[in-house]
Structure 1
Amino acid sequence: MDELEIYLRKLVPFTEREMEVFTALFSETKLKKNEYFAKEGEFSVKIAFVSSGVMRAFFRNGSGNEYNKTFFTASNFVAAYSSITTKQRNLINIQCLTDCILFVADFRQITSLYEKYPKFESLARIIAEYKFAIKEKREIELVTIEATERYEIFKKEHPDLENLINQYHIASYLGITPTQLSRIRAKR
């Protein structure tokens, strides 16, 4: 749980007591490759901090085709955010691409402490703002940048991921076919 505390201290200056209260909400959970943290159509209440491993958030269209929305790696929070904040059914799936170790908490327990511990609410806002900025950047890149440049950005932002997950997951994330990704990689 040390990595969780280190991450949190970078974002908010918690007192020792606040840190104890917050981290006590989390428990270690291990998920195997291909297991789901969240499934489309279910209601989510859990948020997790990724200690190790790689996860993906994805959705399926009506034809069953999968589209990777984002990847979650170590030292990142993961959740079906729209479900935990709106209390509606999940729109996405979150699946482990490798074995993962997570620190998991019930988001309702965290939010119930906002009034007593305002720094918890500040932390949630900081994380939400960060996630929104990443989402906006990615959406802009998908419509304004060529696939080759998106691939280069992916490699910079996720330097080791290419060796850990299947290429078709990367292609889906980049909005291209596996064949297109193979061609881009062959030109390098």
Structure 2
Amino acid sequence: MNELKHYFNAISKLNEATWDRIVPYFKEDRLQKNEYFAKENKTAHQIAFLKTGVVRAYFINKEGKDYNKQFFVGQSIIGAYSSLLTGKTNLIAQQALTDCVIYTCDYAALTQLYEECPDLERFARKIAEYYFLEKEKKEIEIVLLDASQRYVLFKKEFPTLEQLITQFHIASYLGISATQLSRIRKQFASKKS
């Protein structure tokens, strides 16, 4: 639980009374590789603090091709936010790409504390702002940068991820084919030698 407290406080410090209120809501759990935290076409009810591991958020188009929208690498918050906010079914699945340790929490129960714990509501706002900025950044990158430039940014943002997940998932995140990614990686390798 110390990791959870450190993560929250690094974003927006919570007072001890708030901690005493929220700690019982979080339960340690595990996701096995390929297991889902949030499924498509299901209504979400939980968020989680990802302590260790890698989770991808992705969607599948009409042709059955999946696109990785985001990678969450421990430590971060995961959950089907749109579904949690609207009460509608989720469109973007979240799947573990490695074994993960998580702390789950009922979203509705946590948000009921906002009135009594404004520091918790402030934390939630800052998390929402962060993910909004990440989404906008990714949308701009996919339009304005070529595949090689997106790969360089991916390596900066996720320096250890390439050793943990398949090329297919990285290519899907970059909006290119696995063959294109292989070509780009070879170009970078030849520049280094």
If the length of structure 2 is used for normalisation, what is the TM-score? 0.96
Cα deviation, 1:86-145, whole Å, max 9, x if unaligned, reads 111001110000000001101001111111111111111000000000110010000000
One-letter code of the match for 1:148? S
Alignment-derived partner of residue 113 in structure 1: 113
Identity %: 49
1:1-188 alignment runs, 5 A limit: 1-188=1-188
If the length of structure 1 is used for normalisation, what is the TM-score? 0.98
One-letter code of the match for 2:166? N
Give the whole-Å Cα distance in 1 for the aligned partners of 2:135 and 2:12. 22
Give the whole-Å Cα distance in 2 for the aligned partners of 1:172 and 1:71. 11
Q: Which moved more, 1:15-24 or 1:34-43?
A: 15-24
Is the CA contact (8 Å cut-off) linking 2:15 and 2:119 kept in structure 1? Answer: no
| CA deviation after TM superposition for structure 1 residue 12, in Å | 2.0
| CA deviation after TM superposition for structure 1 residue 20, in Å | 2.1
Cα deviation, 1:28-69, whole Å, max 9, x if unaligned, reads 010100000011100001000100000000001112111000
One-letter code of the match for 1:159? P
Give the whole-Å Cα distance in 2 for the aligned partners of 1:24 and 1:76. 19
Secondary structure of 1:63's counterpart equals: coil
Give the whole-Å Cα distance in 2 for the aligned partners of 1:11 and 1:160. 23
One-letter code of the match for 2:24? A
* Consecutive unaligned residues in structure 2, runs of 5 or more: 189-193
Matched length:
188
| CA deviation after TM superposition for structure 1 residue 13, in Å | 2.3
Give the whole-Å Cα distance in 2 for the aligned partners of 1:166 and 1:11. 31
* Consecutive unaligned residues in structure 1, runs of 5 or more: none
